[in-house]
Structure 1
Amino acid sequence: MNTHTPDTIVVGAGVAGLTAAWNLHKAGQSVTVVDPTPGMGASRAAAGMIAAVSEVMYQHHTMRTLMTTSAALYPPLVAELTELLGHDVGYRGSETLDIGAHPADRDWFANLAEVQRAAGMTVEQITTRQARKLEPALSPAISGAFLVAGDHQINPRKLVPALIEALDRDPGFRLIRQRVTAVLRDGGDTGAVTGVTLDDGTDLHATTTLLCPGVSLAGIGNLPEADCVRLRPVHGDILRARLRPGQPPLLERTVRGMVDGRPVYLVPRTDGEIVIGATEREDGFDGVVLEGAYQLLRDAQTLVPGAADLELTEILARARPGTPDDLPYIGRLDGVDGLVVSTGYSRHGILLAPLGGHLAAGLVLGTDSTTEDAAILAATDPRRTSPHISGATV
Structure 2
Amino acid sequence: MELDTSDVIVVGGGIIGSCIAYYLAREGRDVVVLDPAPGEGASYGNAGMLCPSYSLPMANPDSLLAGLSILTGRGPVTFRRPVPARTLLWMARFALACRPGRAWREAASLHDLTTRSVELYDEMIADGLDLELRPHGWTYVFHNEGEYHAHIRFAERLVDAGVRHELLDRDALAAREPNVARDVAGAVVYPDDRNMDPGRTTRVVAEAAEKYGARFVKERLVGAERHGGRITKVWSDHRELRAGAFVLATGAASHSVGRCFGVSLPVEAGHGLSLTLSAPNQQLLTGALMAGDAHVVISPGANYVRITSGMEFGAHGAPGPLPAAISRMRHLAEVTVPGLRDLPRDGESWRGARPMTPTGVPIVRPVAENLIAAVGHNTQGMTLGPIAGRTVAEQVDSVLGPRRTNPITY
Please give the TM-score of this superposition, normalised by the length of structure 2. 0.80
CA separation of 1:136 and 1:238: change in aligned 2, threshold 3 A: same
How far apart are the structure 2 equivalents of 1:213 and 1:221? Answer: 9
Q: CA deviation at 1:277?
A: 0.8
Aligned to 1:36: 36
Aligned to 2:69: none
Aligned to 2:121: 77
Q: CA deviation at 1:170?
A: 2.9
Give 3-state SS (helix, strand or coil) of 1:340's partner. strand
Overall identity of the aligned pairs, in %: 24
Aligned to 1:231: 267
Aligned to 2:244: 207
Aligned partner of 1:90: which letter? Answer: E
Aligned partner of 1:343: which letter? Answer: V
Give the paired residue count: 352
How far apart are the structure 2 equivalents of 1:116 and 1:145? Answer: 16
Aligned to 1:275: 306
Aligned to 1:314: 348
Give 3-state SS (helix, strand or coil) of 1:195's partner. strand
- 1:63–1:327 Cα contact (<8 Å) kept: no
Aligned to 1:148: 190
Aligned to 1:128: 170
Higher relative contact order (CA 8 A, sep 6+): 2
Q: CA deviation at 1:2?
A: 7.2
- 2:50–2:382 Cα contact (<8 Å) kept: yes
Give 3-state SS (helix, strand or coil) of 1:84's partner. coil
Give 3-state SS (helix, strand or coil) of 2:162's partner. coil
The reply to whether residue 181 of structure 1 matches residue 222 of structure 2 is: yes
Which residue among 208, 233, 256 is the counterpart of 1:195? 233
Give 3-state SS (helix, strand or coil) of 1:238's partner. strand
Aligned to 1:375: none
Give 3-state SS (helix, strand or coil) of 1:347's partner. coil
Runs of 4+ in 1 over 6 A off after TM superposition: none
Note the 1:253-272 alignment, pairs <5 A: 253-259=287-293, 262-269=294-301, 271-272=302-303
CA separation of 1:222 and 1:150: change in aligned 2, threshold 3 A: closer
Q: CA deviation at 1:281?
A: 1.3
* Structure 2 gap ranges (5+): 61-100, 400-410
Q: CA deviation at 1:295?
A: 2.5
Give 3-state SS (helix, strand or coil) of 1:178's partner. coil
CA separation of 1:273 and 1:82: change in aligned 2, threshold 3 A: farther
Aligned partner of 1:180: which letter? Answer: L
CA separation of 1:144 and 1:81: change in aligned 2, threshold 3 A: closer
CA separation of 1:55 and 1:80: change in aligned 2, threshold 3 A: closer
Q: CA deviation at 1:284?
A: 2.4
Aligned to 2:395: 363
How far apart are the structure 1 equivalents of 2:14 and 2:116? Answer: 20
Give 3-state SS (helix, strand or coil) of 2:234's partner. strand
Aligned partner of 1:289: which letter? Answer: L
The reply to whether residue 66 of structure 1 matches residue 110 of structure 2 is: yes
CA separation of 1:53 and 1:170: change in aligned 2, threshold 3 A: closer
- 1:195–1:208 Cα contact (<8 Å) kept: no
Aligned to 2:361: 327
CA separation of 1:329 and 1:120: change in aligned 2, threshold 3 A: closer
Give 3-state SS (helix, strand or coil) of 1:175's partner. strand
Which residue among 90, 94, 118 is the counterpart of 2:132? 90
How far apart are the structure 1 equivalents of 2:141 and 2:8? Answer: 45
How far apart are the structure 2 equivalents of 1:248 and 1:220? Answer: 40
CA separation of 1:65 and 1:120: change in aligned 2, threshold 3 A: same
Q: CA deviation at 1:240?
A: 0.7
How far apart are the structure 2 equivalents of 1:272 and 1:222? Answer: 42
Aligned to 1:52: 52
How far apart are the structure 2 equivalents of 1:308 and 1:255? Answer: 16
* Structure 1 gap ranges (5+): 368-394
Aligned partner of 2:217: which letter? Answer: I
Note the 1:378-393 alignment, pairs <5 A: none
Q: Deviations over 1:67-99 (max 9, x none)?
A: 4323333244344346435xx323111122111
- The Cα RMSD (Å) is 2.2
CA separation of 1:129 and 1:16: change in aligned 2, threshold 3 A: same
- 1:181–1:221 Cα contact (<8 Å) kept: no
Aligned partner of 2:295: which letter? Answer: P
How far apart are the structure 1 equivalents of 2:115 and 2:219? Answer: 31
CA separation of 1:203 and 1:63: change in aligned 2, threshold 3 A: farther
Q: Answer with 60-69 or 131-140: which moved more.
A: 60-69
How far apart are the structure 1 equivalents of 2:159 and 2:10? Answer: 39
How far apart are the structure 2 equivalents of 1:67 and 1:36? Answer: 33
Give 3-state SS (helix, strand or coil) of 1:6's partner. strand
Q: CA deviation at 1:54?
A: 4.4
How far apart are the structure 2 equivalents of 1:299 and 1:82? Answer: 39
How far apart are the structure 2 equivalents of 1:83 and 1:26? Answer: 11
The reply to whether residue 284 of structure 1 matches residue 315 of structure 2 is: yes
